[in-house]
């Protein structure tokens, strides 16, 4: 029997949607017609149908927008939704004291009820400092943010890099050619972006610098092409976890290596869909793949829910609620 699932990587807010409205479930199968305006009750029904005990909503943003997400999801449906905040990294362009300002924002978000911090790839592939330079993950000016996350007990779900081929020329030889034609902004060939290798090196330096902070590296740490590298990073950094979100095709192409990564690190891999919007078929696809890998039942349960529950302290919260 498939264990209950904690989807550790979902987008349920509104800032990513084409209309600026709330994102929910694709209940009728037509993406742009039905993913807005859906009632939260319908989303909960989809979750119940698919065995989803809880969703981590990464779209909390900050201040008023965070409160709006918390009201809609977490406060109305405790522990079915766990909203992570974000930070306004545009402040980096205004001066080198942006780290302290953002640490203060993070403290406000934690006090409001945020359950973690989401960091987007745009931090090092988009936002620039006052001198016009892109930041790297281990930029010393941002260190206070990640240290504060550790002090507050907030896990950091961090997207560092996209597929390696996004740095190659976007021509017919690129395996992602069609995708890059559709999203040319995802190509980092030229343009002064840090290399994939530089991002990976800087990311592990960040994780090493903050051993008291829990990092969840999205999309198999941004290096699904080399699961050996991912395994070594997990071995070297006990505060590092990875999610599998949005990397089903790449993992399915290397089932033995995927099995080895998970079996060797059963307490460090989290399930996440990153499907936007959520759908029953998306969950079924993951169920077919993970269920067919031949993982031990205890390992599969850890990936689907146990590891996320531990990081997010769900059991502790439930026990506390039961005593109240």
Q: Which residue has the higher pLDDT, 98 or 124?
A: 98
Q: For residue 304, tell me if it sits in a domain.
A: yes
Task: Spell out the SS3 assignment of the chain.
Answer: CCCCEEEEEECCCCCCCCCCCCECECCCCCHHHHCECCCHHHHHHHHHHHCEEEEEECCCCCHHHHHHHHHHHHCCCECCEEECECCCHHHHHHCCCHHHHHHHHHHHHHHHCCCCEEECCHHHHCCECCCCCECCCCCHHHHHHHHHHHHHCCCEEECCCCCHHHHCCCCCCCCCHHHHHHCHHHCCCCCCCCCHHHHHHHHHHHHHHCCCCCEEEHHHHCCCCCHHHHHHHHHHCCCEEEECCCCHHHHHCCHHHHHHHHHHCCCCEECCCCCCCECHHHHHHHHHHHHHCCCCHHHHHHHHHHHHHHHCCHHHHHHHHHHC
The lowest-confidence range among 16-20, 146-150, 189-193 is 16-20
Q: Does 318 share its domain with 234?
A: no
Q: Does 127 share its domain with 212?
A: yes
Cα 241–161–220 angle (5° rounding)? 35
pLDDT in tens, 177-189: 999 999 999 999 9
Give me the residue label for tokens 């290399």: 195
pLDDT in tens, 277-298: 889 999 999 999 999 999 999 9
Q: Does 111 share its domain with 188?
A: yes
Q: Does 234 share its domain with 305?
A: no
Return the structure tokens found at 136.
């790297």
Residue 24 has pLDDT above 80, yes or no: no
Give me the residue label for tokens 């850890």: 302
Residue 198 has pLDDT above 90, yes or no: yes
What phi, psi does 23 have (nearest 5°)? -95, 135
Q: Does 177 share its domain with 222?
A: yes
Q: Does 180 share its domain with 140?
A: yes
Boundary-marking domain end, from 224, 243, 262: 243
Task: Report the domain count for the chain.
Answer: 2
Share of the chain above pLDDT 70, in %: 92
Q: Does 257 share its domain with 213?
A: no
Q: Does 202 share its domain with 130?
A: yes
Domain enclosing residue 136, as ranges: 92-243
Give yes or no for a contact between 202 and 145, defined as CB atoms under 8 angstroms apart.
Answer: no
Boundary-marking domain end, from 207, 222, 243: 243
Handedness of CA 226, 231, 234, 235 (dihedral sign): negative
Q: For residue 248, tell me if it sits in a domain.
A: no
Separation in Å, CA 112 to CA 60, 63, 86, 106: 11, 8, 13, 10
Return the structure tokens found at 308.
């996320």
Q: Which residue has the higher pLDDT, 310 or 3?
A: 310
Q: For residue 116, tell me if it sits in a domain.
A: yes
Give me the residue label for tokens 């890998």: 293
Q: For residue 118, tell me if it sits in a domain.
A: yes
Euclidean distance between the first and the last CA atom of the chain, given in angstroms as a whole number: 32
Q: Does 131 share its domain with 221?
A: yes
Q: Does 236 share its domain with 268?
A: no
Residue 150 has pLDDT above 60, yes or no: yes
Give the pLDDT band (50/70/90) at residue 320: low
Q: Does 218 share its domain with 100?
A: yes
Give yes or no for a contact between 278 and 49, defined as CB atoms under 8 angstroms apart.
Answer: no
Residue 35 has pLDDT above 70, yes or no: no
- What average pLDDT does the chain have? 92
Give the pLDDT band (50/70/90) at residue 23: confident
Q: Does 299 share its domain with 216?
A: no
68: left (phi over 0), alpha (psi -120 to 50) or beta: alpha
């Amino acid at each position: 029997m498939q264990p209950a699932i904690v989807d550790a990587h979902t987008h349920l807010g509104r800032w990513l949607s084409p209309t600026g409205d709330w994102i929910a479930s694709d209940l009728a199968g037509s993406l742009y017609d039905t993913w807005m305006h859906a009632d939260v009750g319908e989303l909960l029904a989809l979750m119940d149908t698919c065995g989803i005990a809880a969703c981590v909503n990464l779209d909390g943003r900050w201040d008023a927008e965070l409160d709006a997400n918390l009201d809609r999801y977490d406060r109305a449906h405790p522990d079915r939704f766990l909203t992570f905040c974000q930070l306004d990294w545009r402040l980096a362009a205004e001066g080198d004291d942006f780290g302290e300002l953002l640490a203060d924002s993070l403290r406000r978000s934690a006090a409001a009820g945020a359950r973690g911090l989401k960091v987007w790839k745009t931090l090092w592939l988009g936002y620039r400092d006052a001198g016009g330079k892109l930041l790297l993950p281990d930029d010393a000016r941002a260190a206070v943010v990640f240290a504060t996350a550790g002090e507050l007990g907030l896990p950091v779900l961090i997207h560092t890099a996209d597929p390696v081929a996004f740095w190659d020329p976007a021509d017919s030889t690129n395996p992602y050619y069609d995708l890059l034609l559709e999203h040319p902004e995802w190509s980092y060939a030229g343009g002064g972006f840090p290399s994939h290798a530089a991002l990976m090196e800087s990311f592990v330096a960040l994780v090493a610098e903050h051993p008291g902070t829990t990092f969840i590296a999205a999309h198999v740490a941004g290096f699904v092409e080399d699961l050996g590298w991912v395994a070594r990073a997990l071995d070297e950094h006990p505060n590092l976890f990875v999610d599998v979100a949005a990397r089903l095709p790449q993992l399915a192409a290397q089932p033995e290596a995927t099995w080895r990564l998970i079996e060797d690190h059963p307490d460090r891999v989290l399930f996440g869909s990153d499907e936007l919007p959520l759908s029953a078929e998306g969950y079924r696809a993951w169920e077919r793949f993970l269920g067919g890998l031949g993982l031990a039942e205890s390992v599969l349960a850890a990936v689907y829910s146990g590891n996320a529950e531990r990081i997010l302290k769900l059991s502790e919260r439930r026990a506390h609620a039961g005593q109240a």
